[in-house]
Amino acid sequence: MIFTYFLLFIYRLGSLDVEMTAVDDGCAGTLGGSALLDECHLKHTHTHSHTPRREAPMVVVWRNVVLMSVLHTAAVYALVLIPSASTYTLLWTVVCFVFSALGITAGAHRLWSHRSYKASLPLRIFLAVANSMAFQNDIYEWSRDHRVHHKYSETDADPHNASRGFFFAHIGWLLVRKHPDVIENGQKLELSDLKNDRVVMFQRRFYKTSVVVMCFLIPAMLPWFLWAESLWVGFFVPVLLRYTLVLNATWLVNSAAHMWGNRPYNMNINPRENRFVTFSAIGEGFHNYHHTFPYDYATRLVPNAPGTGATGLDNALQCCVSDHGRMGVVTLYMHKWRRV
């Protein structure tokens, strides 16, 4: 009974009272060659123009504050349960973490937000399922929010504007109402590429059901069913602890990777190369490179480049996409600035 009520309570996270908006970058629907990609890149970066700052009252959404507090408290409690968890359960937690992270990085981010590669139907389904396990809003909403972040990076139109401080960029933006500039610019959005993607719209239609199954039930029930793990441990460790870690790994890209690290590709923007974020978010810490070349699927310029501090886990995205490219499952767009 406690398990059921707690699951329903945490599930309310799916209705976080946040206006998810973005803008049309004019490049989302079509990708063809390096010339077009260059044009998109110029539009992408030059629209970071100095938007006049418009002061707006910060309205706290207390429901979100309570839900996030409960989730993180439960994750801390889950740490206490780790010694009682079986080795299989801990390995399963890692598998769920990586699977969830791929749903964000290779799916909602590189594939659907930036259209940096084309994926076959089976791969799109795979990534949509992984995205549901990640539980960070459906692909449609995640992608449109991310597009406005890139086009208006670190202005009031940026949903998680890093110039407002680490806490706001990390989690605070989810605890308050959106700035009016985000809503206003979101009205300019054109998302025909997402609306025409059957996988995206199917996931959006059945998102709550897919989250219950992929984020909560399967991670908790499979250890109980296959190796007799307790449901209590199965719920707190592979579900709540893993979910909290994936959330914070994603949020670190918005916060830490916009504040700490070097800027080898573009000194005129704040996104940085952050090794810790690279490890925790499977490659997304190469953020200065990403904001400079947002339409590149890869997480760095040269695989295993010396001095990048990268590990095999960091580059899980590039390995995943490259391997599928060799199998013909995805089509890669190699940009003229990439020399791999």
Q: How far apart are CA 34 and CA 291, in angstroms?
A: 17
Which residue ranges make up each domain of the chain?
Answer: 2-23+58-332
Report yes or no: 223 and 234 within 8 Å, Cβ to Cβ. Answer: yes
Question: Higher pLDDT residue, 190 or 65?
Answer: 65
Q: Identify the pLDDT of residue 298.
A: 81
Phi, psi of 100 (to 5 degrees): -60, -45
**pTM for the predicted model, two decimal places:** 0.77
Q: Identify the pLDDT of residue 54.
A: 57
Whether the pLDDT of residue 102 is over 60: the answer is yes
Q: Identify the pLDDT of residue 137.
A: 93
- pLDDT average, residue stretch 263-289: 91
Question: Higher pLDDT residue, 215 or 283?
Answer: 215
- What confidence tier does 151 reach under pLDDT thresholds 50, 70, 90? confident
pLDDT in tens, 231-267: 999 999 999 999 999 999 999 999 999 999 999 998 9
**What DSSP assignment string belongs to 74-122?**
HHHHHHHHGGGS-HHHHHHHHHHHHHHHHIIIIIIIIIIIT--EEE-HH
pLDDT in tens, 178-210: 877 777 777 787 789 999 999 999 999 999 999
